[in-house]
Amino acid sequence: MFDSMKNLFSTLLKIGGITFAIVIFTIIIFYFWASSNGYPRNKYGEIINYPASPPRNKDEFTVITYNIGYLSGLTNNQAVSREKKLFDDNLKTVIEGLKPLNADFIGFQEIDLDSKRSFNVNQVTELSKALSFNQAGIAVNWDKNYVPFPYFPFSAHFGRILSGQAILSRYPITENKRIVLDKVANKPFFYNAFYLDRVAQVSEIKVNNRSIILINVHLEAFDVPTRRKQTEYIQKLLSEYVDQYPVLLIGDFNSTVPPIPENPQPTIDILLKTAAIKSAFPPEALNNPQIATFPSDQPIVKFDYVFYTPKNIEVIEWRIIDEVKQASDHLPLMVKFRFKD
Q: In angstroms, rounded to a whole number, what is the distance separating the alpha carbons of residues 186 and 196?
A: 16
Question: Which pLDDT does position 20 carry in this prediction?
Answer: 61
Give the lowest-confidence range in 15-24, 120-129, 257-266.
Answer: 15-24
Q: Which helix (H) or strand (E) holds 317?
A: strand 313-320
- Residue 318, C-beta contacts closer than 8 angstroms, at least 6 positions apart: 280, 281, 306, 333, 334, 335, 336
Cα–Cα distances (Å) from 334 to 58, 226, 252, 265, in that order, read 18, 28, 14, 26
Among candidate residues 292, 279, 222, the one with its CA nearest the CA of residue 250: 279
Q: In angstroms, rounded to a whole number, what is the distance separating the alpha carbons of residues 76 and 155?
A: 17
- Sign of the four-CA dihedral 46, 68, 292, 265: negative
8-state DSSP, 297: S
Confidence of residue 150 (pLDDT cuts 50, 70, 90): low
pTM over 0.85, yes/no: yes
pLDDT digits (tens, 9 = 90+) for 40-70: 899 999 999 998 888 878 899 999 999 999 9
User: Has residue 286 got a pLDDT over 90?
Assistant: no
pLDDT digits (tens, 9 = 90+) for 7-30: 655 665 666 666 666 656 555 555
Question: Which pLDDT does position 151 carry in this prediction?
Answer: 47
Cα–Cα distances (Å) from 308 to 121, 196, 211, 261, in that order, read 33, 27, 14, 29
Class of domain 40-339: alpha beta
Q: Within 13 A of 337's CA, how many CA atoms are on the CB side? A: 28
Q: Where are the domains of the chain?
A: 1-34, 40-339
